[in-house]
Structure 1
Amino acid sequence: METLFVVLIGAVAAVLANRNIAVFNDGLRPVVSEHIEGSLKRRELALTAFAMSFGLVIGFGIPFTLSASIILIHSILLGTDIIGLLVPKNKWGTPVAAVVGGVYGWGLIAGLEGFVKLFDYLPVNFLEPLGEVGTPVVVTFMAFPALAVALQFSIKKGILTFVVAAIVRQLAVWVNTEGFLKIGENTVSLNQEGMALIVGMIFLFAYAMKEKPEGASIDLASLFSEKVSRIKKNVVFFMVIGGLIAGATNLLLMAGDPISLNLLAEGKQTDAGIAAAARAIGFIPLVASTAIATGVYSPVGFTLIFVVGLFVPNVWFAVIIGALVIFLEVMLLNYIARFLDKYPGVRNSGENIRSAMTKLLEVALLIGGANAANTIAPGFGFFFIAGFYLLNEIAGRPIVRMAVGPVGAIAVGIIANILVLLGIMDIPQ
């Protein structure tokens, strides 16, 4: 059943991309819209999709998937974007996209099991140390609202948000240590990062809603009504893939972002759900804006389906509720457009939230990658990651900054095995 879920997700997502209905890569949606309007040829669209997504699949999605043995959704959906848009959009192209997308999904889950078994035969089994890549991510994630506030409003407001969030986190630690919260005889523990995150998000949206529109407002709902109608017309497809992804998340097969993935790898499903919810709320302005403006949706919608998968106790309930949630998202697009028009600060926060998360993940993953690499090969690991990062910067960043830590840690693991086989290095204890 687990394999079937992943195969179906791969097949449906590839069809959605092939029919220009939905793509996962946020940056691709405006490009697909240009193709729909006739200003961009299919070949150019396919090449653009490959250029924008291939590096992220290899350098970002796959390393995270390997480090936690849970599929990061980027691994599958960035790949199906490429598959769907490379295959011609015609009567035979769509079935081919479905088959290739399904085989790609199967390859991911089958290959993952094979990779895990392969590590047991290596002189230096570096699978467990790879888990260190995501350790700083979980803790630092709570800082992204403060960074978004600083980017959009001012550094002073960003510092204030950061300080208050940090204080709330430490208060939560103190409350847990003293055991103040109890239900009957049972002590209740607060999630300290989750509490800090909630406070930061309150600050962010409070500042955003205070920002008033300048000049005449734009009626987004009316301006892009035809494109919103196009998305609504395909709502059944979104319900299908939304239900499948919610079900797969419930089975702990996949995660929607590196933060919740690492929390799941640690067995913290509730915390992963809280992190996924914060990310989803923060990304609604970005996903909604690009969808309304382009008429091209995301196969994961506002990413609330991951929250459903993590909190609903039964896989089939998760499938049903996931489908209903993405249905409501699509049906509410006009109302969301009017809300974003009324509060331009909230609309603008989407891009700042994305930038804040990217900057934070770049730093956290570099630290995590360095720690993982040094656990695999003490001393050499730090040397390699530092050199790898700096050389990548000088070369013009052929590997995105976010991927340097995970890719570097994997490279150190491979090098360590080669050195042990050559007798140049002892097996790390």
Structure 2
Amino acid sequence: MEMMFVILIGAVAAVLANMNIAVFNDGLRPIVSEHLEGRLKRRELGLTAFAMSFGLVVGFGIPFTITASIILIHSILLGTDIIGLMTPKNKWGTAVAAIVGGLYGWGLLIGLEGFVKLFEYLPVNFLEPMGEVGTPVVVTFMAFPALAVAMQFSVKKGIITFIVAALIRQLAVFVNNSEFLRIGDNVVTLNQEGMALIAGMIFLFAFAMREKADEAASVDLASIFSEKVKQIKKNVAFFMIIGALIAGATNLLLMAGDPISLNLLAEGKQTDAGIAAAARAIGFIPLVASTAIATGVYSPVGFTLIFVVGLFVPNVWVAVIVGAIVIFLEVMLLSSIAKFLDKYPGVRNSGENIRSAMTKLLEVALLIGGANAANMIAPGFGFFFIAGFYLLNEVAGRPIVRMAVGPVGAIAVGVLANIFVLLGIMQVS
């Protein structure tokens, strides 16, 4: 059953990309729209998709998938973007996209199992230390609303948001240690990072909603892009299928929608992963909705609420049904969301700032995590390698995205450690 979920997700996602209905890479949606309007040839579209997504698959999606033994959704859907857009949009091309996309999903899952078994035979099994890559991510994630506030409104407001979030976190720690909260004889434990994250998000949206639209300068998104919204609604059945599949696969703990919830799942903290996924989904609604309304091209994961469904619903088949319903409601409410974003341009603009804040935070957290993991694998040498790797990557113009330097560097140290042991210049600790 697990295999079928992953194969079907790969096949359906590749078909959606091939038919120009949905792509996962946010930056690709406007480019697909250019192709739909006849300003970009199919070949150029495919090459652009490859250039934009291949590095992220290899340098971002796959390393996280390996370190947590859970598929990060980026590793499969960025790949299906490439497969779908590089195959011709005709009957045989769509069929090829479905077959190759399904095989890609199958290969990803089989390869993951093979990797885990391979590590057991290595002189230095560095799979467990690789878990350290995500440790700082979980803790630092609560700071992203403060960074988004600072980027969009002011540094002063960002600092205030950060201080309040930090105080809320420590208050939650105090409440947990004091065992104040009880239901009968059972102690209720608050997730301190989750509480801080909620506080930060409240500040972010409070500031954003204070920025009202100027009636004279207001842009009616729903009216201007009504045909594009209709196009998305026409394909709602496709979105319901893939939404159902992804919600089900998430419920089976086969995949996660972001590095934060992925690392929490790897630690066995499913509820915390659900809270993190919910915060991310709420923050991404303005970005996904805006790009979808403006381009007529949706995301195969919608607003990412299907991951929240998968993590909180207790049964896989219930998750499948609820996932389909949730993504149906998302699509049907696009016009209403467009009107809301017109009314509160601050909320609309917050989408890009939230994404930028998350990216910056992950760059720092994953570099620290990668350095810690590398140093656990090869004490001393690990820190040296990650520092040099990061700086040389910067000087070279960042051929590897900053976010991936820590995970990729830690994997490289693990490989080098095994080579050193085989050469006799390093001892297994």
Matching residue of 1:99: 99
Matches within 5 A, 1:107-118: 107-118=107-118
Q: TM-score, normalised by structure 1?
A: 1.00
- Tell me which amino acid in the other structure corresponds to 1:134: G
Matching residue of 1:216: 217
RMSD: 0.4
SS in 2 for 1:92: helix
Counterpart-to-counterpart distance in 2, 1:250 and 1:71:
13
- Tell me which amino acid in the other structure corresponds to 2:64: F
> Over residues 244-268 of structure 1, what are the superposed CA-to-partner deviations in whole Å (9 max), with x where a residue is unaligned?
0000000000000000000000000
SS in 2 for 1:38: coil
Matching residue of 2:28: 28
Matching residue of 1:173: 173
Matching residue of 1:237: 238
> Over residues 43-101 of structure 1, what are the superposed CA-to-partner deviations in whole Å (9 max), with x where a residue is unaligned?
00000000000000000000000000000000000000000001101110001000000
SS in 2 for 1:127: coil
Matching residue of 2:62: 62
Counterpart-to-counterpart distance in 2, 1:75 and 1:154:
35
Q: TM-score, normalised by structure 2?
A: 1.00
Matching residue of 2:305: 304
- Tell me which amino acid in the other structure corresponds to 1:39: R
Matching residue of 1:130: 130
Matching residue of 1:149: 149
Counterpart-to-counterpart distance in 1, 2:383 and 2:186:
44
- Tell me which amino acid in the other structure corresponds to 2:48: T
- Tell me which amino acid in the other structure corresponds to 1:418: I
Matching residue of 1:313: 314
SS in 1 for 2:128: helix
Matches within 5 A, 1:151-300: 151-214=151-214, 215-300=216-301
Please report how far the alpha carbon of residue 216 of structure 1 lies from its aligned counterpart in structure 2 after TM superposition: 1.9
- Tell me which amino acid in the other structure corresponds to 2:112: L
- Tell me which amino acid in the other structure corresponds to 1:332: L
SS in 2 for 1:284: helix
Matching residue of 1:337: 338
Please report how far the alpha carbon of residue 212 of structure 1 lies from its aligned counterpart in structure 2 after TM superposition: 1.9
Counterpart-to-counterpart distance in 1, 2:359 and 2:213:
27
Counterpart-to-counterpart distance in 2, 1:371 and 1:213:
46
SS in 1 for 2:217: coil
Which ranges in structure 1 are unaligned for 5 or more consecutive residues? none
Matching residue of 1:419: 420
The aligned length equals 428
Which ranges in structure 2 are unaligned for 5 or more consecutive residues? none
> Over residues 76-133 of structure 1, what are the superposed CA-to-partner deviations in whole Å (9 max), with x where a residue is unaligned?
0000000000110111000100000000000000000000000000000000000000
- Tell me which amino acid in the other structure corresponds to 2:45: L
Counterpart-to-counterpart distance in 1, 2:90 and 2:304:
30
- Tell me which amino acid in the other structure corresponds to 2:10: G
Counterpart-to-counterpart distance in 1, 2:112 and 2:148:
35
Counterpart-to-counterpart distance in 1, 2:335 and 2:276:
27
> Over residues 17-55 of structure 1, what are the superposed CA-to-partner deviations in whole Å (9 max), with x where a residue is unaligned?
000000000000000000000000000000000000000
Counterpart-to-counterpart distance in 1, 2:212 and 2:240:
35
Question: Percent identity over the alignment?
Answer: 86
- Tell me which amino acid in the other structure corresponds to 1:305: I
Please report how far the alpha carbon of residue 213 of structure 1 lies from its aligned counterpart in structure 2 after TM superposition: 2.0
| 1:9 matched to 2:6 | no
List, as ranges, runs of 4+ consecutive aligned residues in structure 1 with deviation greater than 4 Å: none
Counterpart-to-counterpart distance in 2, 1:39 and 1:129:
48
Counterpart-to-counterpart distance in 2, 1:228 and 1:213:
22
